């Protein structure tokens, strides 16, 4: 099972946050990646001054 994490950063700044998906975990890494892209697409609606920089699909229970 995979959990989705997305690194988002302030446009024009160095402030970044890690967002953890609340809908997972996902059975496959492919589903996890798909969810990361959905989060990136919806990000401007919730955090308009941020952009998605990176994503990571981690195995559930794995420490960062």
pLDDT tens per residue across all 64 residues of the chain: 999 999 999 999 889 999 999 998 999 999 999 999 999 999 999 999 999 999 999 997 655 5
Q: Is the dihedral of CA 2, 6, 21, 38 positive or negative?
A: negative
Residue 16 covered by a domain: yes
* Domains: count for the chain: 1
Residue 64 covered by a domain: no
- What are the strands, taking DSSP E only, across the chain? 2-10, 16-20, 50-59
Q: Which of 23, 28, 38 is nearest to 59 (CA)?
A: 28
Q: Is 24 exposed, middle or buried (0-12, 13-18, 19+ CB in 10 A)?
A: middle
pTM score, two decimals? 0.83
The pair phi, psi for residue 4, each rounded to 5°, is: -100, 130
The residue segments making up the domain with residue 6 are 2-59
């Amino acid at each position: 099972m995979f959990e989705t994490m997305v690194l988002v950063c302030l446009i024009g700044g160095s402030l970044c946050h890690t967002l953890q998906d609340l809908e997972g975990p996902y059975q496959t890494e492919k589903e996890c990646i798909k969810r990361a892209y959905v989060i990136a697409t919806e990000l401007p609606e919730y955090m308009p001054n941020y952009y998605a920089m990176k994503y990571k699909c981690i195995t559930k229970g794995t420490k960062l």
